[in-house]
Amino acid sequence: MQYRSIGFALLPSLLVSALAGCTSVPLQPANSLTSYDGLTKVDGRIRKAEYKAVPEDLNVSKTVYIEPTLVSPTAAQSSIKPADQALVATVVSRALCIGVSDRFAVTDNRENADLIVHATVTRIVPTNATAAGLSTVASIGASFASSSVPVPRIPLGLGGLAVEAEATTRDGKQAGAMVWSKGANFVTTGARMSQIGDAYSLAESFGNDFSKMLVTGKTPFKFGFPKLPSYQKLKSGLGGKPKYQACERFGRAPGLKDFAGSQLGLPPSWTDKPVRPQSQ
């Protein structure tokens, strides 16, 4: 009881410390958007973004085609293995496809889609796998010791991710765009022993942000209580069949298998595999 009380007392301090113990990743445009004009800026400590949504175009659209996410030449020049870069890109595509399925019908026919979505990974900040491993050992050790005191990560070698994406109408008009970056923090981002440990987790975060903007036609960055995910999103996130067959081209989420692996700090490549679908 004494340790539990200490743990609860430390929570506010840990949350405040999380703002300091994080990676700040600058926005990194890759010139993959048709336009960067008219973007609204969001400048946070952990997440930075510039975005634009055109409700009148998004609201009348019913079908969407998701192009496979690309990795920019700049991001590809890093020391991260091509297979790991491809895995991060796969997670972005998968998250986008599942996210937009809340309102749009996802099609595998590009020519007949009302919206065409494409994304580009512009930067992957590598995670220090050694530091992540030490954090995992400390966390598992605390669990065996039956301690209720939360054990944060070692705030060294945290990774990050930068992505940009846009949705264009059938006639090429930009209906939505976003330049986005986010760094891991040592309290809420679990440690995984891989150079893409943090980028893998953040890839889904980007997919959720961008797809939410397309679905609602509004900013996805408002503060408030998070809403429960839809049934289709929950099912797909657990590794079930996605709502639309077109999303199968990005593979299914590893679900509980990956959750178990993340608790042990295992590399994402042990529980998930990249998919390289051919765009049509």
Amino acid at 76: A
Residue 278 CA, chain-centre distance (Å), reads 22
Q: Compute how many other C-beta atoms are within 10 angstroms of the C-beta atom of residue 207.
A: 25
Mean pLDDT of the chain: 86
Q: Which residues pair with 149 in a beta bridge?
A: none
pLDDT given at position 12: 47
pLDDT at residue 185 above 70?
Answer: yes
Question: CA angle, 190 as apex, 81 and 101 as ends, to 5°?
Answer: 80
Task: Identify which has the larger pLDDT, 57 or 222.
Answer: 57
Task: Identify which has the larger pLDDT, 126 or 278.
Answer: 126
| Residues 67-100: tens digit of each pLDDT | 999 999 988 877 899 999 999 999 999 999 999 9
DSSP state letter for 62: -
Alpha carbon distance 89, 83 (integer Å): 10
Task: Identify which has the larger pLDDT, 121 or 189.
Answer: 121
Which helix H or strand E contains 31, and what residues bound it?
none
Q: Which tokens belong to 136?
A: 């995992």
Collapsing DSSP to helix, strand or coil, 55 comes out as helix
Percentage above 70 pLDDT, the chain: 85
Task: Identify which has the larger pLDDT, 163 or 21.
Answer: 163
Alpha carbon distance 198, 185 (integer Å): 9
pLDDT given at position 262: 86
Alpha carbon distance 79, 276 (integer Å): 20
Alpha carbon distance 33, 58 (integer Å): 17
**Which stretch of 103-117, 133-147, 163-177, 218-232 has the lowest confidence by average pLDDT?**
133-147
pLDDT at residue 20 above 60?
Answer: no
Contact 130, 88 (CB under 8 A): no
- HEC letters along 106-174: ECCCCCCCCEEEEEEEEEEECCCHHHHHHHHHHHHHHHHCCCCCCCCCCCCCCCEEEEEEEEEECCCCE
Polymer length of the chain? 280
Contact 64, 206 (CB under 8 A): no
**Which stretch of 150-154, 161-165, 178-182, 203-207 has the lowest confidence by average pLDDT?**
150-154
Q: Considering only the top CATH level, what class is 40-221?
A: alpha beta
Contact 119, 92 (CB under 8 A): yes
| Residues 46-56: tens digit of each pLDDT | 789 999 999 99
pLDDT at residue 141 above 70?
Answer: no
**Which stretch of 91-95, 173-177, 179-183, 262-266 has the lowest confidence by average pLDDT?**
262-266
